[in-house]
């Protein structure tokens, strides 16, 4: 194993950022480019059709490299988000000088937390959903970060699956244990519309954690909100505090609703009617 004291400062800085965002592509600003290293570089090259090269970090260490100009960041982000990737953008925060430039992640972009107009589909809601199930019951919470809509429900398990179809979320948060057993089913019930399944540690859905998160954020949990709905909503807050800490404050109201208020259609019927997307995969009104 390489002695960390012999690792060049720029490399150490990058590795510390990557340690904090292990499940995301890290775009690391170096001058006028955002660079990706190691496996992230391989992924970026493959998904965006970029040249994969190498970069010396020190005299002997050579690592895979792929980069994009800062000026074309939005264009490339759009492609990555459409493919379901989550991206941590690490920018230079001090001017170049004799010392190592200070860098840190200034924003995180995931399919369900988009706010940039250039990355959002016109006239389409961009829902982030949270789902968990116990026995025959399930909890479901949804957020539309651009409008501040925040709602949660509890229902029979199959009803909750059908609600995922109705909403067509861009990203679905689930306990890691659920992702391992039912991740493919989630994709089927969102009709494969580039839905990203994001596993969270099961603790993020724990009753005490969710009650504390909602209580601290809202002051009080809405009266009569079912237990699984509370846990789903708490998990969304947990995720947003990590990925969008500046935007989570605009979620100042949590509402509950009953699925009986909506007519349920199975996924095959919705796909056949092309309610949300055309068969070509484009969103239509």
User: Where does the pLDDT of residue 242 fall: very low under 50, low under 70, confident under 90, or very high at 90 and above?
Assistant: confident
* CA-wise closest residue to 195 among 204, 178, 210, 183: 183
- 22-72 pLDDT per residue, tens: 989 999 999 999 999 999 999 999 999 999 999 988 788 899 999 999 999
**Does domain 118-273 correspond to CATH entry 3.30.420.110?**
yes
Task: Using a pLDDT cut of 90, give the percent of the chain over it.
Answer: 47
Q: Please, where in the chain does CATH 3.30.420.110 lie?
A: 118-273
Give CA–CA dist 167/127, Å, rounded.
7
Given a cut of 80, whether residue 179 has pLDDT beyond it is no
**Does domain 4-109 correspond to CATH entry 2.40.160.20?**
no
Pairing of strands 137-144, 128-134: antiparallel
Q: Please, where in the chain does CATH 3.40.1170.10 lie?
A: 4-109
Give CA–CA dist 74/129, Å, rounded.
24
* CA-wise closest residue to 14 among 4, 26, 3, 6: 26
Given a cut of 90, whether residue 145 has pLDDT beyond it is no
First to last CA, the chain: 56
Give CA–CA dist 235/154, Å, rounded.
14
* CA-wise closest residue to 255 among 283, 282, 223, 277: 223
User: Where does the pLDDT of residue 259 fall: very low under 50, low under 70, confident under 90, or very high at 90 and above?
Assistant: confident
User: Where does the pLDDT of residue 268 fall: very low under 50, low under 70, confident under 90, or very high at 90 and above?
Assistant: very low
Give CA–CA dist 153/139, Å, rounded.
6
> Cα 226 to chain center, whole Å?
25
* CA-wise closest residue to 45 among 76, 86, 24: 76
Given a cut of 70, whether residue 121 has pLDDT beyond it is no
Higher-confidence position of 88 and 188: 88
């Amino acid at each position: 194993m390489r002695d960390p004291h012999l690792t060049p400062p720029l490399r150490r800085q990058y590795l510390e950022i990557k340690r904090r965002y292990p499940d995301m592509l890290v775009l690391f600003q170096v001058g006028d480019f955002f660079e990706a290293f190691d496996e992230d570089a391989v992924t970026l090259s493959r998904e965006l059709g970029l040249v994969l090269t190498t970069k010396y970090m020190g005299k002997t260490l050579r690592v895979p490299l792929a980069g994009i100009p800062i000026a074309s960041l939005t264009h490339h982000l759009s492609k990555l988000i459409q493919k379901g990737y989550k991206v941590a953008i690490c920018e230079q925060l001090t001017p170049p000088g004799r010392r190592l430039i200070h860098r840190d992640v200034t924003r995180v972009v995931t399919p369900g937390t988009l706010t940039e107009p250039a990355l959002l589909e016109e006239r389409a809601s961009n829902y982030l959903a949270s789902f968990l199930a116990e026995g025959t019951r399930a909890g479901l919470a949804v957020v539309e970060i651009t409008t501040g809509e925040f709602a949660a429900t509890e229902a029979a398990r199959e009803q909750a699956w059908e609600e995922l179809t109705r909403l067509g979320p861009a990203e679905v948060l689930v306990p890691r244990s659920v992702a391992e057993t039912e991740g493919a089913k989630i994709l089927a019930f969102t009709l494969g519309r580039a839905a990203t399944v994001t596993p969270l540690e099961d603790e993020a859905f724990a009753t005490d954690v969710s009650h504390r998160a909602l209580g601290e954020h809202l002051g009080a949990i809405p009266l009569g909100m079912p237990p699984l709905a509370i846990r789903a909503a708490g998990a969304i807050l947990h995720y947003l505090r990590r990925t969008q800490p500046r935007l989570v404050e605009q979620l100042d109201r949590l509402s509950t609703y009953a699925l009986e208020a909506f007519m349920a259609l199975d996924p095959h019927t919705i796909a056949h009617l092309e309610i949300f997307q055309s068969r070509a995969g484009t969103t239509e009104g």
